[in-house]
């Protein structure tokens, strides 16, 4: 894999938040840890002015995006029934979301890993995006489905990251003007959710 494509930069990266909804999260493996790690990532990327897009799968049945997330200023939430975030509305937003241009890189978090996350990753890769799957901010109802989906997504060229890995890539330098603000968020390590050295 080309190392240059693993870079994340402000102004060229977007966060996609996939279906992290109240009723669905009740059934998700390590949901509390996913929530805490995702909240940390979202808050850091808001400080860095990274644009965000949110979807909700059939919200009438599965509820709204969990209240722990500050998604003010995000595009959406866009309702969907497809098992990919790449709906007409989301594709339209992506086309101009970075100061009128498409992003180079997509940071992807959400549930379920083996359904909507994986299908979204496939669609995004086919559209030419570099896709960063944030492993500690994604899950499924079972750990088995989660881990196998990560392996498959790595196999199609996705970058498998963690929340802190993404934050530090976006910062790039301790001299970044927002480093001190974000330092308060990263003083507490992100919570581990059972990768167990398998990836």
3-class DSSP state for residue 182?
A: helix
List 33, 40, 75, 80, catalytic entry: 80
Side-by-side strand order, sheet with 105-111: 75-80, 52-57, 13-18, 105-111, 130-139, 159-161
Verify whether residue 173 is a known catalytic residue.
no
Verify whether residue 116 is a known catalytic residue.
yes
Verify whether residue 80 is a known catalytic residue.
yes
List 19, 98, 136, 169, catalytic entry: 19
List 116, 137, 138, 158, catalytic entry: 116
- Rounded CA Rg of the chain: 15
Would you say 182 and 44 are in contact if contact means Cβ atoms under 8 Å apart?
Answer: yes
What is the spatial distance between Cα 18 and Cα 53, in angstroms, rounded to a whole number?
8
Known catalytic residues? 19, 80, 116
């Amino acid at each position: 894999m080309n190392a240059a494509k693993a870079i994340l930069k402000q102004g060229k990266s977007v966060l996609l938040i996939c279906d992290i909804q109240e009723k669905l999260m009740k059934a998700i493996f390590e949901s509390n840890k996913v929530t805490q790690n995702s909240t940390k990532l979202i808050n850091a990327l808001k400080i860095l002015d990274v644009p965000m897009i949110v979807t909700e799968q059939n919200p009438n049945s599965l509820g709204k995006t969990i209240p722990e997330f500050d998604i003010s200023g995000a595009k959406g939430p866009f309702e969907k029934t497809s098992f990919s975030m790449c709906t007409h509305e989301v594709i339209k937003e992506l086309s101009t979301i970075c100061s009128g241009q498409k992003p180079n890189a997509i940071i992807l978090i959400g549930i379920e890993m083996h359904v909507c996350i994986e299908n979204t990753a496939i669609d995004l890769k086919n559209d030419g995006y570099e896709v960063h799957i944030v492993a500690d901010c994604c899950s499924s109802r079972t750990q088995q489905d989660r881990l196998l989906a990560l392996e498959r997504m790595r196999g199609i060229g996705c970058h498998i990251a963690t929340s802190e890995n993404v934050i530090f890539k976006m910062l790039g330098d301790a001299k970044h003007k927002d480093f001190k603000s974000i330092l308060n968020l990263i003083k507490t390590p992100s919570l581990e959710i059972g990768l167990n050295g398998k990836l």
